[in-house]
Amino acid sequence: MFTVVIIAVIVISVACLLYLGRGRMRGGGGRGLRRRFGPEYARTVAHHGGDTKAAEQELGERVERHGSLTQRPLSPEVREHYVTQWAIVQEQFVESPQQAVTEADALLAGLARDRGFPDSEQFEDQIAALSIHHGHYVQGYRGMHAAARDQSGTEEMREAMVEARSLFEALVTEQPADPGRSHRPSPDDQGHAPWPLTRRHAKGSST
């Protein structure tokens, strides 16, 4: 009988250690997930109707799937290409906001793919992977992706592009997510930077 009790205690102890280890693998618990995902943590909790446990389970599963992803560097030529194309797209916004947002969405998807994230054909999978490494900026990309497919107003599309620009900058300059970093354009190593899209760039809007 005593031997059975000892075995039961050992089994329970091992199960607890495995459970705790699984929690660490999934991002270090609630506090670690909050720190890692930033605003994406609150968004996921809201998506689950305030159920923190369900939200943390989802975020933990993201970490398990994509936490080991290594971001690929960009060559100077590829980086220059993306910076130039982003500026062109923003110029196009003046005459054709919907087309500009659609092209910006595709451009950001291609940039994420070139940095090593999943292809945008599986958008939710790409967003999940991006949220682990750029949780403070990923909502802007999500909003622009929606604006590219919906009949949004000019102001909504403008705001979507402005918000998505932070993720673009983080990816093109190969900088880790930093919630304290300014959202102003950050020049790359060749001195280029995507300029901000302000109200005066939208056709028909006031300065």
Using pLDDT thresholds of 50, 70 and 90, give the confidence band for residue 6. low
Side chain identity, residue 134: H
Tell me the C-alpha distance between 104 and 109, whole Å: 8
Confirm whether 136 is domain-assigned. yes
What residues contact 75, with CB distance under 8 A and at least 6 apart?
none
Confirm whether 207 is domain-assigned. no
Using pLDDT thresholds of 50, 70 and 90, give the confidence band for residue 101. very high
Using pLDDT thresholds of 50, 70 and 90, give the confidence band for residue 198. very low
What is the DSSP secondary structure assignment for residue 71, as one 8-state letter? P
Do residues 91 and 48 both lie within one domain? no
Do residues 139 and 89 both lie within one domain? yes
Do residues 83 and 6 both lie within one domain? no
Do residues 108 and 155 both lie within one domain? yes
- Residues of the domain holding 40: 2-66
Angle between helix axes 97-114 and 154-172 (nearest 10 degrees) is: 20
Do residues 111 and 25 both lie within one domain? no
Confirm whether 206 is domain-assigned. no
With tokens 């300014």, the residue in question is 182
Choosing from 39, 66, 93, the residue where a domain stops is 66
The count of domains in the chain is: 2
Confirm whether 21 is domain-assigned. yes
Minimum mean pLDDT range among 44-48, 103-107, 182-186: 182-186
Tell me the C-alpha distance between 98 and 94, whole Å: 10
Do residues 104 and 183 both lie within one domain? yes
Choosing from 20, 39, 66, the residue where a domain stops is 66
pLDDT at 2: 52
